[in-house]
Amino acid sequence: MALVKYNNNSISAVTATGLASGALTHIKTLTASSSGTLSFVHGSDGVVLDSTYPIYKFEFINIHPATANTIFQFQTSTNGGSSYGVTYTNTVFLAYHKENGSGSGLNYEAGRDQAQSTAFANLCAEVARSGEADQACSGFLELYNPSSTTFVKHCISRFIKDAATTDMFDQYQAGYMNTTTAINAVRFQMSSGNIDAGKIKLYGIKDS
Amino acid sequence: MAINLANNNSLANITALPSSVSGGAMTLLATQTASGSATISFTSGIDDTYDSYVFKFINIHPATNNSSFQFQGSTNSGSSYGVTITSSFFQTYHAEDNSAAALAYNTSNDLAQSTSFQIIADTTGNGSDESASGYLHLFNPSSTTFVKHFISVDNHYYNGTYSINDFSAGYFNTTSAVDSIQFKFNSGNIDSGVIKLYGVS
Is this prediction's pTM over 0.90?
A: no
Nearest CA distance, B127 vs chain A (angstrom): 31
Contacts of B136 in chain A (CB under 8 A): none
Q: Determine the pLDDT at residue B74.
A: 98
Q: Determine the pLDDT at residue B4.
A: 47
Average pLDDT over every residue of A143-157: 95
Nearest CA distance, B103 vs chain A (angstrom): 9
Per-residue pLDDT band for A13 (boundaries 50, 70, 90) equals low
Residue A112 counted as domain residue: yes
Cβ distance of A24 and B52 shorter than 8 Å:
no
Q: Determine the pLDDT at residue B159.
A: 81
Residue A9 counted as domain residue: no
Q: Determine the pLDDT at residue A3.
A: 53
Residue of higher predicted confidence among A207 and A185 = A185
Nearest CA distance, A92 vs chain B (angstrom): 15
Q: Does residue A172 surpass a pLDDT of 50?
A: yes
The amino acid present at B91, given as its one-letter code, is: Q
Cβ distance of B151 and A139 shorter than 8 Å:
yes
Enclosing domain of residue A63: 19-205
B3 touches chain A (CB under 8 A): yes
> Are A13 and A4 spatial neighbours (Cβ–Cβ below 8 Å)?
yes
Of A150, A141, A145, nearest to A184 by C-alpha is A145
> Are B86 and B109 spatial neighbours (Cβ–Cβ below 8 Å)?
no
Q: Determine the pLDDT at residue B6.
A: 45
Cβ distance of B167 and A21 shorter than 8 Å:
no
Q: Determine the pLDDT at residue A185.
A: 98
Residue A3 counted as domain residue: no
Residue A6 counted as domain residue: no
B167 touches chain A (CB under 8 A): yes
Rounded to whole angstroms, the maximal C-alpha distance in chain B is: 64
B53 touches chain A (CB under 8 A): no
Domain CATH for A23: 2.60.120
Cβ distance of A168 and B170 shorter than 8 Å:
yes
Of B181, B158, B152, nearest to B62 by C-alpha is B158
Contacts of A26 in chain B (CB under 8 A): 22, 25, 201
Residue A5 counted as domain residue: no
Q: Determine the pLDDT at residue A11.
A: 54
Number of separate domains in chain A: 1
Give the HSE-up count for residue B153: Cα atoms under 13 Å, Cβ half-sphere: 5
Q: Determine the pLDDT at residue B142.
A: 98
- Mean pLDDT score across all residues of chain A: 91
Q: Determine the pLDDT at residue A164.
A: 78
Nearest CA distance, A30 vs chain B (angstrom): 13
Residue ranges of chain B with per-residue pLDDT less than 50: 1, 4-6, 9
Q: Does residue A130 surpass a pLDDT of 60?
A: yes
Residue A4 counted as domain residue: no
Q: CA geometry: angle at A121 spanning A128 and A70, to 5°?
A: 20
Q: Determine the pLDDT at residue A1.
A: 46
Contacts of B84 in chain A (CB under 8 A): none
3-class DSSP state for residue B104?
strand
Residue of higher predicted confidence among A2 and B72 = B72
- Residues 109-128 on B with a CB inside 8 Å of A are 110, 112-113
Residue A66 counted as domain residue: yes
Residue A1 counted as domain residue: no
Cβ distance of B25 and A22 shorter than 8 Å:
yes
d(CA A164, CA B84): 12
B117-142 pLDDT, tens digit each: 999 999 999 999 999 999 999 999 99
Strands B101-105 and A24-35: what pairing? Answer: unpaired
Cβ-based contacts under 8 A for chains A and B: 150
